[in-house]
Structure 1
């Protein structure tokens, strides 16, 4: 697969060693450097990731004429580099690490340069790509008018993933996805707040502002929020990992997203792949361990056995986010478990609004439910991702939602706002309705039919 990465490059250098003493000149640690590691940064890191995954990676960029540029080219060995002159020094970012922990970083040549030119060779390299990643690191290449015009034209037929920068250029209209992190998204959209609700609000603003087909706000350990035209925002959860250094996670997300889109995946499926790839990357050691990744094990979440209204009240009093979802949950299956686990990661408690036996019969017919409400509630409460269960007797959950007033109401699957009357209700007190991935191969109806066949 031919993936073209276009954007700014820099040279990252790590100086590592032990720090067992203080300097006699000042109360600062002395790092005895025993290893020097260099790697391509910025768009160069994205290209290297794609090349390491076995893709035909092409890097379109500009380079300076100095020793650092020579070192950078060496670190890009194996990547097809099409570069014009930058007219500026090569930016170098050097990190000093003591016993694996960052101590200080110093930058050289990182002043903002003038917008560089773009050669015909650079423009030609964009053609015949299966996907394009625009990796903006604020050095001006993606502000070049000729380059922007070509990217806007190509975005009609080729998936273009734009990874923005606070000091960079505005994404061109029509790209498949823009991938700001949550801090960037809030700044770009001029939205206050934090967490999923603020991310959703920022995505709404940026979809209109940038004219992209989707905005994916990455939220670190909380995964990513997918904002796409005509759909409610969807939160894609991330596996829980322990990572000392988050460097490179955004690059990994953008590169994996581009691959998924090039393979024909829908935006939510590609986002799921990208979120898992970024977590896997960090859990395997990040940029310091590229090429020797190992699976990252998810962590378990705590459980609280109080009743639903008490859980909601205590969570709010502690300044936390109340998350709720609903359903019949008759014959609990893997699809339910995944949806519930994803929902719980969006806040500080998860409350399940459960249809009563009478409610289920009205919705599903006299042969349902298969399991009575007391047992269904007990099974749900036994899940570590569920903090409380609220049983309701109506055919729809609006009354239960009104009693809880959750900050986030979660549904499994893809919905437009008009498909869910509860979305307007939740919005009335400032809450948000979001979706999480639904697994269509798992269903209670199919399980019930299978059980009937075996008697």
Structure 2
């Protein structure tokens, strides 16, 4: 298999936090929503997110960024420690932090703090840049790219992902990737207005000439990206439209484009691949759905006793506990849609998953394809899942009797007669429901198709 080219990412790292809860009322002292029972997830942001995504594409990544001795910098070091090689630039002030507050997975407000800027370049950073086979600049306007501008000008980077507060890309950069709102011609003429492809094309062409770069691609969100070499543009549409969280999509786009160019792709091919990757990224939940080795994430449990904490917290506030069950052997779109819909029915979703022995009894000696630890890990990575509990019996009745959820969910491929748990839930006033299932999606069918293809 072709080895992917290493990548050096230069730019400004951020520490991002998501506080996710539910909002069902307004505050009595102001017309603002009250977001309750917030769960916190901390993750790399800015250039650090782009670098992590490139590393997860299977390439060796070095990140050159500013870090200090403040708590946010320490937290980011911890998150990055298993992802990539880190070369630190001295930072004046605290690392910038961005906190999003979300209710029902929709942003309510963002809180920013930390004004740290890179003070100067280091000899280690200069040497790493001069020996780098490929460079991505992720410029969030905090001084990392500016401190190394002279070295970047010697060997222009493959991709420069700009920010309104950042400096100009160095001449000779192969591809610059402003968003639609960032595509302004330096003369003051607006390069793009929302929905205005003609304006985006004129702005991109003007930027190619003004910046003296090889190409500019204006990212247009759900409409794809517009690629210009200074004349007639190429519009690359998205393969499908997702309504997921777009946070981090620009970093996913830049990381993919830089990686493909490093591996020898043409600019047009790199933009097409980047549009596809960013679209998939949004559909999977955006930056908030990316998990890290040291990320506590949802509670992964093996019995009901350990699942009681998240359930108890929801009950204490009068919330609704939802449970869903299954083998989840090969997680597919039908599973994900079912679990997302189940989570929307209440304030906490516990997934009850069959143990390996239970799956074998139900589906035969060759199942499960994925062992329990892998199935639990994948389920726990879903943003809609609050806890995972395992049962070893053929049905989860004992587990449900312990958890006592308000709602028990199964896929629409079951009939009412199959829901043996329905009678049990009546004992405590619960309700069993069926949710529609995507036609044609099943782990058994996937296994059959793979086996047929291998013959």
Common topology (TM > 0.5): yes
Which among 127, 130, 134 is matched to residue 133 of structure 2?
130
CA shift at 1:100, angstroms? 1.1
Q: Which residue does 2:159 correspond to in 1?
A: 161
Residue 49 of structure 1: CA displacement?
0.6
Answering whether residue 196 of structure 2 is matched by residue 191 of structure 1, we say no
Q: How many residues are treated as equivalent by the alignment? A: 288
Unaligned 5+ runs, structure 1: 297-455
* TM-aligned CA distance change 1:266 to 1:189, over 3 Å: farther
Write the distance in 1 (CA, Å) between the matches of 2:77 and 2:34.
31
1:15 paired with 2:19, answer: yes
| Deviation for aligned residue 1:77 | 2.3
- CA contact under 8 A between 1:164 and 1:178: conserved in structure 2? yes
Corresponding residue for 2:114?
A: 109
Q: How does 1:133-282 map to 2 (within 5 A)?
A: 133-144=136-147, 147-155=148-156, 159-186=157-184, 188=186, 190-192=188-190, 194=193, 195-228=196-229, 232-282=232-282
Q: 2:122 matched to which residue of 1?
A: 119
Question: How many angstroms does 1:12 deviate by?
Answer: 0.4
- Residues 36 and 115 (structure 1 numbering): CA distance in 2 closer, same or farther, change over 3 Å? closer
1:126 match: secondary structure: helix
CA distance in 1, matches of 2:187, 2:333: 35
Looking at structure 2, the residues matched to 189 and 119 of structure 1 have their Cα atoms a distance apart, in angstroms, of 34
Q: Which position in structure 2 is the counterpart of 1:68?
A: 72
CA change 1:232–1:170 in 2 (3 A) is: same
Q: Can you list the C-alpha shifts for 1:131-162, whole angstroms capped at 9, x where unaligned?
A: 21100101122222xx111112122xxx5200
Correspondences of 1:230-379 after superposition (within 5 Å): 232-290=232-290
Aligned partner of 1:336 in structure 2 is: none
What is the alpha-carbon distance in structure 2 between the residues aligned to residue 174 and residue 23 of structure 1?
53
Give SS of 2:23's match.
Answer: strand
TM-score (norm 2): 0.60
Offset at 1:85?
Answer: 1.2
1:295 CA drift (Å): 8.1
In structure 2, relative to structure 1, the CA distance for the partners of 1:233 and 1:163 (3 Å cut) is same
1:16 shift after superposition? 1.1
Q: 1:83 aligns with which of 65, 75, 88?
A: 88
Query: Are the aligned partners of 2:92 and 2:118 in contact in 1 as well (CA < 8 Å)?
Result: no
Instruction: Check whether the contact 1:61–1:122 (CA below 8 A) recurs between aligned residues.
Output: no
Name the structure 1 match of 2:404.
none
1:95 aligns with 2:100: yes
List per-residue Cα deviations over 1:253-277 (Å, max 9, x = no partner).
Answer: 1111001111111111111011111
User: Under a length normalisation based on structure 1, what TM-score does the superposition of the two structures give?
Assistant: 0.60
The CA distance in 2 between the partners of 1:34 and 1:12, in whole Å, is 15
Partner-residue secondary structure (3-state), 1:173: coil
Q: After alignment, is 74-83 or 170-179 more displaced? A: 74-83
Kindly state the Cα deviation for residue 27 of structure 1 after the two structures are TM-superposed. Answer: 3.4
Cα distance between partner residues in 1 of 2:210 and 2:333: 38
Whole-Å separation in 1 of the counterparts to 2:89 and 2:332:
37
Name the CA shift for 1:53/1:295 in 2 (closer, same or farther; >3 Å).
farther
Determine helix, strand or coil for the equivalent of 1:4.
Answer: strand
Could you say which residue in structure 2 is the equivalent of 1:53? 57
